[in-house]
Structure 1
Amino acid sequence: MWRNKNVWILLIGELIAGLGLWMGIIGNLEFMQKYIPSDFMKSVVLFLGLLAGVFFGPLAGKVIDTYSKKKVMIYAGIGRMLSVVFMFMAIHFEAIIFMVFFMVSIQISAAFYFPAIQAVIPLIVKEKDLIQMNGVHMNVSTLARVAGTALAGMMLVVLEIESLYIGSMVAYLFILITTFALDFEEADFDKVRSNKTSSFKDVLPVLKEVPIVISALVLTVIPMLFIGGFNLMVINISELQNDISIKGLLYTVEGLSFMIGAFFVKKITHLLPPIKLMFIFAFLISIAHLSLFFSDIKFMSLISFGLFGLGVGCFFPIAATIFQTKIAKEYHGRFFSFRNMLDRIMFQVVLLSTGLLLDTIGLQYMVLIFGVLSLSAVIYFALFNSRKKINEPQLIKGKNVV
């Protein structure tokens, strides 16, 4: 795997783009803290961007399966780079509406870009290397997040907020250039385009044939209850402790724990079936959520984010590998767009709920509600799956059989 130039291009591009992405996110948080006092209104602004991504999900899935995935990544990269212009306008005019335009345009680009990457990974590495590649890819993303947030914090001390978005645009330009260097075999797109029956709805019958994929999709709801309110919780913990520096520490601890988890998971995948491992790590994520009740204590908030990072670091590489191996490649674009849509819808619900609950009952009672929901869901579905005794299907020549 490590002799494959496509792997290095993808990982280096992900690292640089991640730096730009997280510099932009820190800039977004800074802009919202300055101009949007209500947590609920902050969540509404983020919601509008995610909603645009959901609307474009079905189109993105069909485009990724119909046309060259490399070209889709290139056009999405151009769109992502141009979207940053709206944030320069938002800062210049001190207008929230331009930030909304930025969120909408960058999320539309993401609706095409990220499912395309997930569909490309199985094309550039062998199946036996998938879990390692997924873990490394996620570790690189996390390293970029840790470095990006730290760099953004340092830049804000000595530079204006515009510098963060200049850094983002440069990073997006870099990954756009590296995407042109990717070289891998793709399907005969003339044949695919001639298939008029190919549509986004084709994913649903495929899912019915693969119970383990449905179970994995259901379990991804658990980390989403934490991730959906991640940034708003970081802001509130900072205000609760009256400590600006805790923001960077929380991101750093969570990111480092994620990297440890993603490295560790490859060592244990042979011990238990993937679905059982997912239940174990979903349980760990639920405990992390509940423990945030003590987030007014500095070391407890760091422990909570560390537990969460470890849990998702193990959880997501397993989930990604299940999706990539149990779903036939000709459905990957539509499936990953479908999953992206589910994630975004769930993210929106959690985001708006988080904003509303933070404004009404506060952080500590909110995490109790979400933590109990997570723990209850893990226990219920674990009992349900133990009764059902799911048999994992094998992929044979593009078709799944049970």
Structure 2
Amino acid sequence: MWRNKNVWILLTGEFIAGLGLWLGIIGNLEFMQEQIPSDFLKSLLLAAGLLAGIAVGPLAGRLTDQYSKKTVMLISGFVRIISVVFMLIAIQTSSVWWMLVFLVLLQISAAFYFPALQAAIPLVVSEKDLLQLNGVHMNVSTLSRIIGTAAAGLLLVAIPLNAVYLLSMAAYIVLFGLTWFLQFDENKKASAVKDGQPKQGFKDVFPIIVKLPIVMMTLILTLIPLIFLGGFNLVVINISELQDSTAIKGWIYTAEGLAFMSGAFLIKRISYKFSPYKILFASSMLIGWSQLMLYFANQPVLTIIAFLLFGFSVGCFFPTAATIFQTRVPKDFHGRFFSFRNMMDRVFFQVVLLMTGFLLDAVGLQNMSVMFGALSIVMTTIFFIRSRNLRASAETEQSARS
């Protein structure tokens, strides 16, 4: 796997793009703190961008399956570069509306880019290397997040906000250049999709999901970490205000990122001892407990422990889920499936984002954390019991047939 140049291009591109992304995200938080006083209004602005990504999801899935994944990644990368121009205008004019244009274009770009990337990964390496590559890919993403957030914090003190976004644009340009050098065989896959016209529709992916119980269950379980991730940045801002500490933001991102990397690094060894089901359910339960711990968000040490626990859990969860999707879903449907998953995540992310903004204003961070933590634990418990019943029924039917 490590002799494959496509692997290195993907990982290098992910690292550089991640730096640009997180420079932009921290810049967004800084801009919103200056321009928008209400947490709920902040969440509305972020949700508007997500809504645009959801709207183009079906089109992104169809095009990813019908055309070259590399071409889709290049076009979406170009749109991402152009989007930064509108954020520079927003800073110059102090206009939230121009920031909205930036967020819409950025999310539309992501709606095309990430399904194409997830569909391309199984074409780059063999199936036996998928779990390892997914883990390494997510580690590289997390490392870029740690460095990007730390660099953004330092840069915001040293240089103007628009200069931070120029650096973000430079990173996206480098990613665009690296994508040109990707080389993998997808001509055979593209012709197969074109010949099978009934497989062209976006809705055709739903029967595939229904026929694969592990895929369906994993899709549902991915909602658990999104309960935490949906309002992650708003939560970090509130913890900073609760503790009256700017530095805690950096500590939180760093702790969560390092823990995530540890989980993603160890997941291949863990997978030898435990089934994917056990890994997913255990990780989901730990995510719930990490949310409950934020009831003590006024205590810096307990706050960091909560984010360490969360980071390690999602570090185990997401590579396992990604590998299940890439190996169990037929490759002809990868574009539409990953686009559907992207849409589902965005819809739920949007709901959680709005709910987080509302609850932070209404009941406060600590009470909201208890509510979300209890919801995560109850959902995981219900899904676990249902999963055991389904597997028991399947085993009974199989033994009856034999």
TM > 0.5 between the two?
yes
* Equivalent position to 1:228, from 211, 220, 230: 230
| Matching of residue 374 in structure 1 with residue 398 in structure 2 | no
Contact 2:202 2:336 in 1 (8 A): yes
| Matching of residue 46 in structure 1 with residue 46 in structure 2 | yes
Instruction: Return the offset for 1:163.
Output: 1.5
Equivalent runs, 1:3-402 vs 2, <5 Å: 3-188=3-188, 189-190=190-191, 192-193=193-194, 195-197=196-198, 198-389=200-391
Instruction: Return the offset for 1:196.
Output: 3.8
Report the Cα distance in structure 1 between the residues aligned to 2:191 and 2:218, rounded to whole angstroms: 33
Contact 1:211 1:390 in 2 (8 A): no
Say which is worse superposed, 264-273 or 146-155, in terms of deviation: 264-273
Counting helix residues as a fraction of each chain, which structure ranks higher? 2
Report the Cα distance in structure 2 between the residues aligned to 1:381 and 1:4, rounded to whole angstroms: 39
CA shift digits 1:111-136 (9 cap, x unpaired): 00011110000000010000000000
SS state at 1:269 partner: helix
1:400 aligned residue: none
Contact 2:131 2:323 in 1 (8 A): yes
Paired AA for residue 125 in structure 1: V
1:399 aligned residue: none
CA shift digits 1:43-73 (9 cap, x unpaired): 0000000000000100000000000000000
Q: How many residues align?
A: 392
Contact 1:212 1:390 in 2 (8 A): no
Contact 2:135 2:265 in 1 (8 A): yes
Moved over 2 A (4+): 187-197
Paired AA for residue 287 in structure 2: I
Report the Cα distance in structure 1 between the residues aligned to 2:299 and 2:163, rounded to whole angstroms: 33
What are the ranges of 5 or more consecutive residues in structure 2 without an aligned counterpart?
395-402
Contact 1:254 1:310 in 2 (8 A): yes
Contact 1:119 1:329 in 2 (8 A): yes
Q: What is the TM-score of this pair, normalised by structure 2?
A: 0.96
Report the Cα distance in structure 1 between the residues aligned to 2:267 and 2:193, rounded to whole angstroms: 36
Q: What is the TM-score of this pair, normalised by structure 1?
A: 0.96
Contact 2:142 2:260 in 1 (8 A): yes
Report the Cα distance in structure 2 between the residues aligned to 1:317 and 1:324, rounded to whole angstroms: 10
Contact 1:24 1:164 in 2 (8 A): yes
Instruction: Return the offset for 1:190.
Output: 4.8
CA shift digits 1:172-219 (9 cap, x unpaired): 000000000001000343553454431110110001110000000011
Paired AA for residue 179 in structure 1: T
Percent of pairs with identical residues: 55
1:396 aligned residue: none
Paired AA for residue 334 in structure 1: R
What are the ranges of 5 or more consecutive residues in structure 1 without an aligned counterpart?
393-402
Report the Cα distance in structure 2 between the residues aligned to 1:113 and 1:344, rounded to whole angstroms: 14
Contact 1:65 1:333 in 2 (8 A): yes
Say which is worse superposed, 262-271 or 349-358, in terms of deviation: 262-271
CA shift digits 1:47-103 (9 cap, x unpaired): 000000000100000000000000000000000000001100100000000010000
Contact 2:193 2:332 in 1 (8 A): no
Paired AA for residue 17 in structure 2: A
Contact 2:255 2:308 in 1 (8 A): yes
Report the Cα distance in structure 2 between the residues aligned to 1:390 and 1:220, rounded to whole angstroms: 23
Say which is worse superposed, 194-203 or 112-121, in terms of deviation: 194-203
Contact 1:13 1:178 in 2 (8 A): yes
Report the Cα distance in structure 1 between the residues aligned to 2:223 and 2:75, rounded to whole angstroms: 30
